[in-house]
Amino acid sequence: MEMNGNKPVFDPFGWAERFVSCDTIYQTVRWVSALFFAVLFVLRITDFHFYSHKALWLAETSLFALFTLAYVTRGRPVERS
């Protein structure tokens, strides 16, 4: 860990950038997360028979799908420093 004053800095992305490019890290995190969320979404749909009596099931599932879609289609991060 690098030191910033007296506090150690936890920077796993900085460590990973020593071995692979920032774009590769970004794309890997993005698609692994998207795959994870897609699996959770499929599991949520297959559990419909447990929650069919809950009126908000469709709204909750729709929001989950919307946020997952927004995460997958977002633009590249911008360097702000």
CA dist 11 → 2, 23, 29, 31, 46 (Å): 9, 16, 15, 21, 38
The arithmetic mean of pLDDT across residues 28-42, rounded, is: 86
Identify whether 11 is part of a domain: yes
Q: Does residue 2 carry a pLDDT above 60?
A: no
Look at residue 31 and tell me if it is in a domain: yes
- Per-residue pLDDT averaged across 33-47, rounded? 85
The tens digit of pLDDT for each residue in 50-78 reads 877 777 888 888 888 888 888 778 776 66
Domain carrying residue 65: 2-73
Tokens standing for residue 64 = 């989950």
Residue 79 within a domain: no
Model confidence at 79, pLDDT cuts 50, 70, 90, reads low
Whole-angstrom Cα distance, residue 57 to residue 25?
34
Longest dimension (CA), the chain: 56
